[in-house]
Chain A
Amino acid sequence: MAARGQRSAKRRSGCFLVMFSGVKPDKRSKVKGITQLGSRSSSSSSHSSNSNTTRSNSSSGSGGSSSSSSNNKGGGCKSHSGSSSGSSSGSGSPPAGTPPHTQMASHESLNSESKSSSLNSKLGHESGGSPSPPKSACSSTSTTSTDHHHTNHQVSHVLTATSKMTVRDGSRTLRPDEPPLVPGEQLEGTAREVTYLCPYVGPKKGTLSVTNYRLIFRSPETDPPFELEVPLGVVSRIEKVGGANTSRGENSYGIEIFCKDIRNLRFAHKQENHSRRMVTEKLLQYAFPASHKLPFFAFGYNEQYQERGWSVYEPIAELKRQGLPTESWRITRINEQYELCETYPAVWAVPAAASDNDLRNVAAFRSRGRIPVLSWIHPESQATITRCAQPLVGVSGKRSRDDEAYIQHIMDANAQSHKIFIMDARPSVNAVANKAKGGGYESEDAYQNAEVQFLDIHNIHVMRESLRKLQEVCYPHIDNSHWLSNLEATHWLDHIRCVLSGALRIADKVESHKTSVVVHCSDGWDRTAQLTALSMLMLDGYYRTIPGFAVLLEKEWLSFGHKFAQRVGHGDDRHQDADRSPVFLQFVDCVWQILKQFPHAFQFTEDMLITILDHLYSCLFGTFLYNSERERIEKEVKTKTVSLWSLILSNKADFENPLYSANTKHHVLFPRTSMRHLCLWDKYYCRWNPSMRQQEPVHIRYKELLHVKEQLEKHVDELRKELAARQTHDSPRVASAIV
């Protein structure tokens, strides 16, 4: 099983070697460095990585992108050695050398090998006076390995679990060709002689297996073997290509799998094998459990983690952290049974001046009963961010005294300002149009002291279309001559800019004007969640820590009822469902943009964001399942599934940003929002494309710097001691003067 760990290890060491053709690697020093960082590496492991070196060296030649390395670059494909067992924990994660899984005894050596060789590749990157010409090949290879981070990540963490299990009960041994499974995973079907049509490296022949969680494709054709795995939750639709009688030509008969994570996979079957039908059936069944009345895989996944992710967010504790209750704000359990508002959480913070009866009356005037409740309160000025849905104004311009009074209470709760801003996330045209459907926005005549501003963020349909265009631009091939204008035509970054500058405006109002802000869109669960969560991220450094970010997502997204099930379409085969939309992805992209501008202000790296996005689709964890807190309680998600935060908090070291400086916690971030300062998140959107070169992240370089420093200081110390010893020996008087 642990062959998997090897895979990335090999690839990495391969690239390390390619890089060194032409440069004389200081082997001794490198191996030394490795042993020190990946502290558990055994001598055999470093030996094996060295032997790899020679091999890829010879195969790579000098011309740049070598065949062996390009083989590794397939569209999200991986290769593995298939020789021995072991599992890699750090393999996918850039912070090499962190040992999150100390308890794995039997697979230790391999585990550390993968670590050490990933370090290898890193050292190779930086080392030598001068990188050799094949470097670009190698860095794109290593890019590929980072491409697979996320999959590696999820797989590796999951795998670790398997290996632990294996060790624990010792009952099950795997056949060499059988893929390693996560706890709860079962092999459902295998088809041989299937060809994967990789858009980058061409067709690969191998075995396709389907489990109740994943699709696994392995091709032994290349050395190291080529491997691809996709959690079935990622699948958005499956199509048969070519009929039994109509297909002519090689590879024209098969299936095409469209994924939610910006890629498509095409497999060709042999007609005479009759394997397509079985594979398609199994895929449909396990990719779309909701449509087949089957439980999500998350309910079968029974990994044990050190940390219990479900306890990361306690609503009351979070409100207390913000300083509640105060004179003007109280905590209420009026919605404990989800009766007042079924899409809201059980616990709210509301103005103390509003009675429970007031709340009921306000709920009647707000779309779906989503009344303004507190998201965040400024610790000093007491200016607040509250969120809600649109008022039910309608064509006739209805008013509600209770709602008006309620907004007034929110304003009065903040003594610093005699004004309140109502940020309507929609373009004003849309807000007006909503009046026809009974919705609308607050009129400034009715709401004294309130100023309504429209933030011009478009609706979920526009965003879905934008992402579709973005995928066309990024996958599988990039049209270089029109890259920038094509990118612009998707308007993806334009939308990102709108969301960011909307959030920025809210943060500015709260921080600089000490004025409270009410945020809403139509229903208050898409754009509103983006805006409140982002402005809170800018205002409050707590949310920029790893647990804090978990709290932010649990609170603003999950508890306030962003409809994850609908927007992502978990386990649902209606791929054209108009309720699907990449709202959450867009939010994470915005977080990434801020992270990129303030690399020191976040405790986590982009790897955590990518992991979160991958598990948004994977259905491995219960976190993002269902549409609201109420539904999750009903389905007993907390007791029957594992939380994504268990994975993240148990492997914190993998996601930690070495550049993070905790004193930025008290800073407010005001990111720049002009287009020229936004970038496409290529590490996410273009990760399958090996031609996209990715920058080595600064935090990796920084980690290396710390390591270099430590080594240097150690050597200096040794030398000093030696010197002192010698001097004591020679002339004690002088030595004492120095020491």
Chain B
Amino acid sequence: MNSHRKGTPSARFTTYIDFEEINDGLTTVGETVPLRPIDVPEETNVDEEKIEPHLLPGEIMIARANNVLKFAPLKANRTGISGTLFVTNFKVSFVTSLPVETKERDMHSRSLQNRFLGVHDVCLSEVDMVNQFSEDSAKKKRLLYNTQMPPRLSGLQLVLKSLRVINFSFKFTPTGEDIRVAQALLHHAFPTSIDHLFLSCGYAPSSPGIPDFCRPADWEHELQRTRCPNWRVSKHNEFFNLCASLPTVLVVPRDLLDAQLEQAAQHFQGTRPPVWCWGTPAGAALVRMAQISPSITDKQQENRMMGLVHRCHPMRLQPKIFDLDQILPSLKEIQISYIKLRELHTPDDPTQFWEQDRHYFSRLESSRWLSHVSKCLEVAQNAATAILHQNSSVILQDASGCDLSAVISSLVQLLLDPHVRTIRGFHCLIQKEWVALGHPFTKRLGHTRNQVEEQSPVWLLFLDCVYQVSLQHHTALEFTSEYLVALWHAAHCSLHSSFMFNSVSAKYSASDVLQRENPQQPIYLRPVWSWWAENKSIIENEQNGSDEEPLDCKTSAREAFLNVHYIQKLFKSLAISGAVRRISDPLSSAYHTWQHIDCLMGETRQLPYDPATPIVPLQLDGSLRLDTSLSNLRPWLNCFCAWLSEPAMLTLNDSESLLKDSSPASHHWSHIHEMYNTMKDLLSQNLTNGAAQ
């Protein structure tokens, strides 16, 4: 043992077996799996001191530990891979020359942060819990940022917010390095303030062409697109003087003077006045409103604002008010459910996995997560019905006006507005409802260690609701549930400015702080959507011996993120007689359908949409209906079990690969590609023809 700690060469880059501290798994369920070391070429001449992590500009290495063993969760717990563990101010990086597992590679290729995080890297803000394994006891113990470190760690367990578990063993690590790494991790993963996170990496992000809803023009476009009458854009919040959680621009009733707006704002929690976020040409508006401040007893201003919403309706219909605090679970309940879900999906060893699995359904039910999803869908459905069938405006009211109202408002739009079901529209929706209108991501997702009691994964709840929509309407959404999973994972990467801040103003001030600290460096805050516009990885990937083409990676990610059945639907409208003939006529619908397909499929196009084309006006011709009863909802295994593979009961792993090959979408895709190529062929000939004439 001691000789190992000094780092004998034989301990380097080999595979270790039988990590007895962590698990002794399969005894109850399966027979013992024969221990087989992975055949690894011996690389004795690598000097570990020369191994360095890939650092982004501005990223600093804080601690390193050599000869660390990394254990994949459950399946290969008995075999760890050896490498060097680094903690930087951005990530936990594990550097090894051993081949990467297929699962990890797959997940990496389908993540929105793969441009700046390697396969073995984990962004610090993704870390949810750190547990220690000490030498004397087999039990794990949670480490908090202020926990006293034991003199020696035998292992660390990271539980990530993506419900992934990674175990590291320091069995062969030189003494002292283990503690240093752990301390650095605890210190930097749970900062006191958001601007201590690594928010900017010195590369300018490519523009994804998504409006950020901080400019008057963006809201004016939205008003024009929805053709919702009697509302106006107010710039009265220009310096966040009115309300810190709202953007500088907001949409308010046309009859409301800015002075009145200011007066009204004082009466609401967070001085947040009601704002318009969507509407229909018939005049039904969707309004988000905070509760009246607890210190204010009279409801005069609230009534006044409701009266204004009422007056905005061209037919003077009474608005419907949904008091979400009354009808939906509280933030606390959502968080409690999430913690139960996390427990259920982050087992330590195969024994625990199978033990939980036996009662998976009842545990899932007792977490009440699905019942929260069901309630949200139901409320959204009711609100959508009110707008669509009764043409009445809907006021969504929740405590601060930026949590559950964001969920419901987004879902209502998803159900009613076909544009929102496209990738571009969905990005706009998130940008508008979540980013611009100030969902407090920092607090809710626990990016800092303050305000732990404010944590609540409202964002995940929303994504799960969208997942249920995608299940029930498989051709309706342009993106897949894989993309929703990626969006959940992306919310924990500090380089994605979209999901890091409590509000637009918080983002500005964080940016100011960073600028002050590094006056020489330009500060770039990158929206998550930039991923689509970038082709190249920022970090080079030559580590891990991977030589994959970035383009390939993008193609596979596209196939994972784009809904093949949606594209099939587009092709179907081209397959009707005469449509092909009109395809080069810019006035025909076939032309637009083809442009749409070309954006989604074309390899030369960067984005799955054309940011230059104007968004078509809202047409309420295809609303979705949902079955919201619990028996019709499904647990979101793709997300909850994204990293959790069933512990192997077998000696062969062929089944995994066959499973993957047989994903129904792959067959679909090959036909879709063939159709696309046929059409392209035809079009190129058409052009030749035109030229000839």
Residues of A whose CB lies within 8 Å of any CB of B are 22-24, 26, 28-29, 32-33, 62-64, 125-137, 140, 453, 478, 480-485, 487-489, 493-494, 501, 504-505, 508, 511-513, 597-601, 659, 661, 664, 667-677, 691-693, 695-696, 698, 701-702, 704-706, 708-709, 711-713, 715-716, 719-720, 723, 727, 730-731, 734, 738
Pairwise interchain contact A708-B571, C-beta atoms closer than 8 A? yes
The one of B371, B621, B635, B649 that contacts A676, using a Cβ cutoff of 8 Å: B635
Residue numbers in A under 8 Å from B679 (CB-CB): 712, 716
Pairwise interchain contact A716-B678, C-beta atoms closer than 8 A? yes
Known: A691-B629, A719-B581. A659 touches B667 (CB 8 A): yes
Pairwise interchain contact A508-B650, C-beta atoms closer than 8 A? yes
Pairwise interchain contact B689-A677, C-beta atoms closer than 8 A? no
Query: Interface digits, B578-589 against A, CB 8 Å rule (1 contact, 0 not)?
Result: 111100000000
**B654-687 CB contacts (< 8 Å) to partner A:** 654-655, 658-659, 661-662, 664, 667-668, 671-672, 674-675, 678-679, 682, 685-686
A134 to B389, CA, bound (A): 12
Residue numbers in A under 8 Å from B654 (CB-CB): 667-668, 670
19 contacts between A and B (CB under 8 A): A22-B622, A24-B621, A28-B576, A32-B577, A126-B568, A130-B418, A135-B473, A135-B625, A480-B630, A483-B365, A484-B365, A501-B29, A670-B655, A672-B659, A676-B637, A677-B637, A708-B572, A712-B574, A723-B686
Which residue of A is nearest B672, CB measured? A705
Residue numbers in B under 8 Å from A24 (CB-CB): 621
A511 to B655, CA, bound (A): 12
Pairwise interchain contact A133-B624, C-beta atoms closer than 8 A? yes
Pairwise interchain contact A673-B649, C-beta atoms closer than 8 A? yes
B327 at the interface (CB under 8 A from A): no
Which residue of B is nearest A491, CB measured? B358
Known: A483-B630, A505-B649, A730-B693. A705 touches B622 (CB 8 A): no
Which residue of A is nearest B583, CB measured? A719
Closest 5 CB pairs of A and B: A130-B622, A670-B655, A29-B576, A136-B625, A711-B575
Pairwise interchain contact B357-A674, C-beta atoms closer than 8 A? yes
A708 to B568, CA, bound (A): 8
B346 to chain A, nearest CB (A): 14
Pairwise interchain contact A484-B671, C-beta atoms closer than 8 A? no
Known: A128-B622, A485-B362, A715-B580. A601 touches B668 (CB 8 A): no
A506 to chain B, nearest CB (A): 11
Pairwise interchain contact A134-B476, C-beta atoms closer than 8 A? no
Which residue of B is nearest A134, CB measured? B625
Known: A135-B624, A669-B658. A599 touches B576 (CB 8 A): no
Pairwise interchain contact A600-B388, C-beta atoms closer than 8 A? no
Which residue of A is nearest B353, CB measured? A674
Pairwise interchain contact A692-B631, C-beta atoms closer than 8 A? yes
Known: A23-B621, A709-B675. A659 touches B664 (CB 8 A): yes
B326 at the interface (CB under 8 A from A): no
The one of A484, A696, A702 that contacts B668, using a Cβ cutoff of 8 Å: A702
Pairwise interchain contact A705-B649, C-beta atoms closer than 8 A? no
Which residue of A is nearest B630, CB measured? A480
The one of B362, B576, B623 that contacts A130, using a Cβ cutoff of 8 Å: B623
B230 at the interface (CB under 8 A from A): no
Pairwise interchain contact B655-A671, C-beta atoms closer than 8 A? yes
B689 to chain A, nearest CB (A): 6
Pairwise interchain contact B692-A484, C-beta atoms closer than 8 A? no
**B169-215 CB contacts (< 8 Å) to partner A:** none
B681 to chain A, nearest CB (A): 8
The one of B572, B626, B627, B649 that contacts A504, using a Cβ cutoff of 8 Å: B649
Residue numbers in A under 8 Å from B20 (CB-CB): none
Which residue of B is nearest A482, CB measured? B365
**B229-283 CB contacts (< 8 Å) to partner A:** none
The one of A598, A692, A727 that contacts B689, using a Cβ cutoff of 8 Å: A727
Q: A131-B624, A483-B365, A708-B572 are in contact. List 8 more A-B contacts (CB 8 A).
A: A125-B475, A126-B565, A127-B573, A482-B365, A488-B362, A504-B649, A669-B658, A712-B571
A642 to B654, CA, bound (A): 41
Residues of B whose CB lies within 8 Å of any CB of A are 29-31, 353-354, 357-362, 364-366, 370-371, 374, 385, 388-389, 418, 421, 471-476, 565, 568-569, 571-581, 621-627, 629-632, 635, 637, 641, 646, 649-652, 654-655, 658-659, 661-662, 664, 667-668, 671-672, 674-675, 678-679, 682, 685-686, 688-689, 692-693
Residue numbers in B under 8 Å from A674 (CB-CB): 353-354, 357, 360, 646
The one of B353, B577, B664, B688 that contacts A702, using a Cβ cutoff of 8 Å: B664
Pairwise interchain contact B568-A598, C-beta atoms closer than 8 A? no
Which residue of B is nearest A508, CB measured? B650
Which of B30, B361, B649, B652 is the most central at the interface, judged by chain A CB atoms within 10 Å of its CB? B361
Pairwise interchain contact A131-B646, C-beta atoms closer than 8 A? no
Residue numbers in A under 8 Å from B689 (CB-CB): 723, 727, 734, 738
Pairwise interchain contact A485-B627, C-beta atoms closer than 8 A? no
The one of B474, B646, B685 that contacts A696, using a Cβ cutoff of 8 Å: B474
Pairwise interchain contact A133-B388, C-beta atoms closer than 8 A? yes
A674 to B579, CA, bound (A): 48
Known: A64-B625, A720-B685. A598 touches B662 (CB 8 A): yes
A688 to chain B, nearest CB (A): 14
Which residue of A is nearest B388, CB measured? A133
A515 to B129, CA, bound (A): 44
Pairwise interchain contact A22-B621, C-beta atoms closer than 8 A? yes
A600 to B661, CA, bound (A): 9
A730 to B691, CA, bound (A): 13
A699 to B364, CA, bound (A): 30
Pairwise interchain contact B575-A598, C-beta atoms closer than 8 A? no
Pairwise interchain contact A738-B658, C-beta atoms closer than 8 A? no
A600 to B667, CA, bound (A): 9
Residue numbers in A under 8 Å from B374 (CB-CB): 480
A730 to B693, CA, bound (A): 8
A242 to B575, CA, bound (A): 60
Pairwise interchain contact A698-B622, C-beta atoms closer than 8 A? no
Residue numbers in B under 8 Å from A720 (CB-CB): 682, 685
Pairwise interchain contact B667-A33, C-beta atoms closer than 8 A? no
A601 to B659, CA, bound (A): 10
B28 to chain A, nearest CB (A): 11
Which residue of A is nearest B693, CB measured? A730
Residue numbers in B under 8 Å from A140 (CB-CB): 627
B470 to chain A, nearest CB (A): 11
Which residue of A is nearest B589, CB measured? A129
A174 to B685, CA, bound (A): 60
Residue numbers in B under 8 Å from A22 (CB-CB): 621-623
B373 to chain A, nearest CB (A): 13
Known: A712-B679, A719-B580. A504 touches B623 (CB 8 A): no
A26 to B576, CA, bound (A): 9
A136 to B659, CA, bound (A): 31
Which residue of A is nearest B619, CB measured? A130
A221 to B471, CA, bound (A): 36
Pairwise interchain contact A29-B577, C-beta atoms closer than 8 A? yes
Residue numbers in B under 8 Å from A29 (CB-CB): 576-577
A643 to B9, CA, bound (A): 71
Residue numbers in A under 8 Å from B472 (CB-CB): 136, 693
Which residue of A is nearest B574, CB measured? A712
Known: A705-B671, A738-B685. A672 touches B622 (CB 8 A): no
A493 to B359, CA, bound (A): 11
A366 to chain B, nearest CB (A): 26
A292 to B31, CA, bound (A): 52
A676 to B416, CA, bound (A): 33
A28 to B578, CA, bound (A): 11
A488 to B652, CA, bound (A): 30
A670 to B693, CA, bound (A): 60
A499 to chain B, nearest CB (A): 14
Pairwise interchain contact B658-A131, C-beta atoms closer than 8 A? no
Which residue of B is nearest A132, CB measured? B622
Known: A704-B568, A723-B685. A136 touches B627 (CB 8 A): yes
A641 to chain B, nearest CB (A): 38
Residue numbers in A under 8 Å from B357 (CB-CB): 674-676
Pairwise interchain contact A692-B632, C-beta atoms closer than 8 A? yes
